């Protein structure tokens, strides 16, 4: 008998209050609900006392006597529940929304004004184009300066040459890529360019389902998993004309940079991880192995690898992009977004993948506005002054220079601070939901033992430990989360956006509130890229992207690329 079986008994008790039943006599065996059958008292009072200690509660002997039969009846229902086949892609019947009462969604169709068209590049060999931005690559294909097939072959060769050392690819999709590239070229010849990403090769984090192609989630138990349909994001990018060249590595079950093939490395230092969990997406994009990539974030998995690899990333508003066909880790926190070599690329990719699909019902049909030429003086921008001041002696000069570059670009910055709130007291909602997502793996004998990560901070220990999270505390945390969302919304009502270091507390805050963030490289410390973070209002990604673009235009950090190694 597992102690955890009695930890979530309050919910059944409350359900009974709505439809009362006679309380059975507190005999050692107990009784069924009016049917006279005996219910073994497998959960003892000593076990209940131990479980109540986790809950911070103490019951009298009489209260224990009264509750024990109810707890044991609930145990029978839990066992019945565990026998129900619940596929991994089944979302709970309750859902999270970043929208609070009174919030007004942006109106209109969403004005879309990108930067001026990029200049076409002269080249002798396709590999000279490896580090071009995606929109530049798309312009080259449109102008027929190069074919999508030639670009695709170039990136496939680079992936074969450099990805093994970086450990950033799980599956090359070579046959599919060449087929899609030829189709993209044929469409160009017919004058049917579908988007600025048409013909541009990209990589996808290996948690997006791809029909007939391995989608492993980076984890040993799923190494042979082959889905029979595509994720919505994959479908939308195919419709945009983009070419899938690789399924990129990810930390096992979306944690860190360690997957069943080892640790993914940043191309700036092959002795260090690229961070995660969108590890391969950050690494491959930085190394010029793909035109752009797609990642996911629950608590930093776009921002962190983008920072470590020196590229741009956008974690959109919760409910902006459909997660259908993507591995679920936390139904109330998972977000999908682009990782690219420029902010303008991120805007184009987000435009391609955003919007409802009728399958992920958390997605809101809100306009996506992007005005790359909007006057900066019209924006009210804050910065988390205390976080910049607290930076260590190595980071502070880099961050101070970043703020100065923004000011010189015309951004007026005013000091602000985040609302006071014990965020660490509610972030365990991620642990609870992740444990629920992989409950069947946890219950399978030896299931978690298959995972290579077995330290206290890895999923096996976290999944087991999270089985002891009380249901009532989880609901209370979600209610407290609403309180913080209200506080944060009040803050964002005063500012169009704010700036912070990537190690900011705002990373945790906005992953809980659902607000968007944009990260761009802002310098180096000890040879590793550093990042600057821009936070915007709900469903207004265009504003932090505009500020990030202004920073890019004022600096050259995004133009620096790593020297790659093959051995």
Burial environment of residue 17 by CB neighbours within 10 A (0 to 12, 13 to 18, 19 or more): exposed
Q: Which residues of 490-513 are buried (b: 16+ CB within 10 A; e: fewer)?
A: ebbeebbbbbbbbbbbbbbbbbbb
Strand partners, 369: none
Q: Cα(375)–Cα(484) distance, rounded to whole angstroms?
A: 32
DSSP 549-561: HHHHHH--GGG--
β 335-340/370-371 pair status: unpaired
Q: Cα(302)–Cα(294) distance, rounded to whole angstroms?
A: 9
Q: Cα(419)–Cα(342) distance, rounded to whole angstroms?
A: 31
Dihedral sign for Cα atoms in the order 149, 151, 152, 154: positive
Q: Cα(151)–Cα(129) distance, rounded to whole angstroms?
A: 8
Tokens of 253: 């079950």
Nearest Cα to Cα of residue 135 among 317, 312, 277: 312
Q: Alpha carbon 454 to chain centroid distance?
A: 23
Q: Answer for the pair 244, 277: CB distance below 8 angstroms, yes or no.
A: no
Contacts of 178 (CB under 8 A, 6+ apart): 149, 152, 153
Per annotation, catalytic residue among 153, 205, 247, 265: 205
205 classed as catalytic: yes
Nearest Cα to Cα of residue 552 among 310, 309, 308, 208: 310
Segments of 385-516 assigned E as strands: 413-416, 497-501
Per annotation, catalytic residue among 5, 148, 301, 304: 301
301 classed as catalytic: yes
Residue for token digits 């985040």? Answer: 418
Per annotation, catalytic residue among 274, 277, 283, 506: 277
Catalytic residue list: 205, 277, 301
């Amino acid at each position: 008998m597992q102690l955890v079986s009695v930890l979530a008994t309050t919910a059944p008790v409350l359900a009974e209050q709505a439809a009362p039943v006679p309380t059975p006599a507190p005999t050692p065996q107990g009784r069924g609900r009016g049917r006279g059958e005996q219910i073994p008292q497998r959960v003892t009072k000593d076990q209940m006392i131990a479980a109540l200690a986790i809950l911070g509660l103490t019951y009298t002997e009489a209260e224990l006597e009264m509750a024990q039969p109810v707890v044991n009846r609930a145990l029978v229902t839990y066992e019945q529940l565990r026998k129900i086949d619940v596929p991994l892609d089944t979302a709970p019947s309750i859902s999270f929304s970043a929208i609070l009462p009174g919030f007004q969604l942006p109106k209109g169709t969403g004005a879309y004004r990108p930067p001026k068209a990029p200049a076409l590049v002269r080249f002798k060999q396709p590999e000279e184009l490896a580090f071009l931005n995606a929109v530049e690559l798309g312009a080259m294909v449109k102008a027929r300066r190069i074919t999508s097939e030639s670009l695709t072959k170039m990136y496939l060769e680079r992936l074969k040459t450099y990805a093994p050392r970086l450990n950033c690819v799980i599956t090359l999709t070579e046959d599919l890529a060449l087929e899609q590239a030829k189709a993209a070229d044929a469409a160009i010849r017919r004058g049917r360019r579908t988007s600025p990403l048409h013909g541009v090769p990209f990589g996808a984090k290996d948690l997006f389902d791809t029909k007939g192609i391995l989608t492993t989630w980076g984890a040993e138990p799923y190494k042979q998993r082959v889905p029979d349909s595509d994720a919505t994001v994959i479908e939308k990018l195919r419709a945009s004309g983009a070419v899938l060249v690789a399924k990129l590595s990810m930390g096992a079950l979306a944690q860190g940079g360690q997957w069943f093939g080892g640790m993914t490395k940043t191309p700036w230092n092959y002795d260090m991880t690229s961070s995660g969990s969108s590890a391969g997406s950050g690494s491959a994009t930085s190394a010029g192995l793909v035109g752009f990539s797609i990642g996911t974030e629950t608590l930093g998995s776009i921002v962190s690898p983008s920072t470590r690899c020196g590229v741009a990333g956008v974690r959109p508003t919760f409910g902006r992009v459909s997660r259908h066909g993507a591995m679920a880790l936390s139904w109330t926190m998972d977000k999908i977004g682009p990782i690219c070599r420029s902010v303008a690329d991120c805007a184009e990719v987000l435009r391609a993948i955003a919007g409802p699909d009728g399958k992920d019902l958390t997605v809101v049909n809100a306009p996506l506005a992007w005005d790359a030429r909007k006057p900066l003086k019209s924006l009210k921008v804050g910065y988390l002054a205390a976080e910049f001041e607290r930076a260590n002696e190595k980071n502070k000069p880099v961050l101070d220079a970043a703020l100065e570059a923004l000011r010189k670009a015309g951004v007026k910055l005013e000091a602000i601070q985040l609302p006071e709130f014990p965020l660490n007291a509610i972030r365990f909602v991620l642990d609870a939901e992740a444990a629920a997502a992989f409950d069947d793996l946890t219950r399978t004998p030896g299931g978690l033992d298959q995972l290579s990560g077995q330290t206290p901070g890895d999923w096996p220990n976290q999944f087991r430990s999270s089985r002891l999270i009380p249901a009532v505390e989880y609901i209370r945390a979600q209610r407290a989360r609403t309180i913080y969302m209200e506080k944060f919304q009040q803050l964002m009502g005063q500012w169009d956006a704010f700036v912070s270091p990537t190690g900011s507390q705002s990373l945790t805050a906005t992953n809980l509130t659902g607000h968007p963030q944009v990260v761009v490289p802002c310098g180096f410390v000890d040879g590793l890229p550093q990042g600057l973070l821009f936070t915007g209002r709900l469903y207004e990604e265009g504003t932090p992207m505009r500020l990030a673009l202004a920073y890019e235009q004022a600096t050259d950090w995004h133009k620096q690329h790593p020297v790659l190694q093959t051995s």
